[in-house]
């Protein structure tokens, strides 16, 4: 039987990106790094004015990798970030506009300044804090900012509460679980750091992402084969004593 492409229904293809970064939180008596996720405020229907993941449709001739980099540049001004394939989402009814499948990616970057192209379908891009909590088989992701508070709840690895449009709550949850695995097994935590960092900069996000309660002393000892000390200090810290700056050992870089 001769094959004809017209014999088959063809879906539209899109990309979505869960972009993670680490940002400073400074108070009078402490400073620490906190995990952030990049969201865009939708400028068009469906779900106009709701917060969602950056992404969009492929242009003819693009690969999905090229499309996600283009969308990040247009909707958020993010360029050159590391991207990691996550999963293809193709569930029925995931998009009210029709049969649309999405290739989702994780992107890792510092919390760079954001901008949105005037021709983009996004109204604005924002960094929001991501807080992970777990109790028994229930996992909770809280995503919040000055005027935004959204929640994703999963039980036994399945999202049961999604306050995001489309299936973006599920994508964010899956992306965070992938981030946990990459931090635990592949030291991807360094991709969330600037070139120079303190041990405390590593410690805070590492504990939050993995829900580990590890002392600074034990953490420093375990990370010592992977980092090298510099002769520089962090002079922006709120604490009275300046902290030594480190960098990732070149032999550990992928």
Count the neighbouring beta carbons within 10 Å of the beta carbon of residue 87: 15
Q: Do 192 and 99 lie in a common domain?
A: no
Q: Do 73 and 199 lie in a common domain?
A: no
Q: Give the pLDDT confidence of 73-98 residue by residue, as tens digits.
A: 999 999 988 899 999 999 999 999 99
Q: Is the pLDDT of residue 45 over 80?
A: yes
Q: Do 24 and 53 lie in a common domain?
A: yes
133: tokens are: 């909590």
Q: Do 158 and 34 lie in a common domain?
A: yes
CATH of the domain at 215: 1.10.10.10
Q: Do 133 and 220 lie in a common domain?
A: no
Q: Is the pLDDT of residue 46 over 60?
A: yes
CATH of the domain at 112: 3.90.79.10
pLDDT band at 42 (very low <50, low <70, confident <90, very high): very high
Task: Report yes or no on 192 lying in a domain.
Answer: yes
Task: Report yes or no on 5 lying in a domain.
Answer: no
Give the domain-ending residue among 186, 219, 237: 186
Q: What's the rounded Cα separation, in Å, for the pair 167 and 171?
A: 7
Q: Do 181 and 201 lie in a common domain?
A: no
Task: Report yes or no on 2 lying in a domain.
Answer: no
Give the domain-ending residue among 139, 154, 186: 186
Query: 3-state DSSP call for residue 63?
Result: coil
Task: Report yes or no on 163 lying in a domain.
Answer: yes
Give the domain-ending residue among 135, 161, 186: 186
Residues of the domain holding 211: 188-252
Task: Report yes or no on 196 lying in a domain.
Answer: yes
Q: Do 98 and 207 lie in a common domain?
A: no
Q: What's the rounded Cα separation, in Å, for the pair 217 and 248?
A: 18
Task: Report yes or no on 100 lying in a domain.
Answer: yes
Q: Is the pTM of this model over 0.95?
A: no
Total domain count, the chain: 2
Rounded percentage of the chain residues whose pLDDT exceeds 90: 70
Catalytic positions are 124
Q: Do 139 and 25 lie in a common domain?
A: yes
Q: Do 172 and 197 lie in a common domain?
A: no
Q: Is the pLDDT of residue 99 over 90?
A: yes
Task: Report yes or no on 122 lying in a domain.
Answer: yes
Task: Report yes or no on 3 lying in a domain.
Answer: no
Q: Do 122 and 107 lie in a common domain?
A: yes
DSSP conformation letters of 103-157: EEEEEE---------TTSSEEEEEEEEEEEEEETTEEEEEEE-SS-EEEEEEETT
pLDDT band at 169 (very low <50, low <70, confident <90, very high): very high
Closest C-alpha to 238, from 205, 196, 184, 198: 198
Q: Do 36 and 131 lie in a common domain?
A: yes
Q: Do 203 and 243 lie in a common domain?
A: yes
């Amino acid at each position: 039987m001769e094959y004809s492409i017209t014999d088959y229904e063809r879906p539209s293809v899109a990309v979505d990106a869960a972009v993670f970064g680490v940002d400073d939180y400074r108070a009078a008596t402490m400073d620490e790094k906190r995990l952030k996720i990049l969201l865009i405020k939708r400028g068009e229907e469906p779900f106009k004015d709701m917060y969602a993941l950056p992404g969009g449709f492929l242009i003819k001739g693009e690969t999905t990798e090229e499309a996600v980099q283009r969308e990040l540049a247009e909707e958020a001004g993010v360029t050159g970030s590391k991207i990691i394939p996550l999963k293809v989402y193709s569930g029925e009814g995931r998009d009210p506009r029709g049969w649309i499948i999405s290739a989702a990616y994780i992107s890792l970057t510092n919390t760079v300044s954001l901008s949105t192209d005037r021709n983009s379908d996004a109204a604005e891009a924002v960094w929001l804090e991501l807080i992970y909590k777990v109790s028994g088989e229930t996992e909770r992701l809280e995503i919040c900012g000055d005027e935004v508070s959204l929640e994703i709840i999963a039980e036994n690895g399945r999202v049961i509460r999604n306050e995001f449009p489309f299936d973006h709550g599920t994508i964010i949850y899956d992306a965070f679980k992938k981030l946990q695995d990459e931090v635990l097994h592949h030291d991807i935590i360094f991709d969330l750091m600037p070139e120079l960092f303190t041990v405390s900069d590593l410690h805070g996000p590492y504990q939050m992402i993995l829900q580990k309660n590890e002392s600074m002393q034990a953490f420093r000892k375990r990370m010592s084969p992977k980092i090298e000390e510099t002769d520089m200090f962090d002079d922006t810290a709120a604490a009275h004593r300046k902290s030594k700056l480190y960098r990732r050992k070149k032999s550990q870089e992928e």
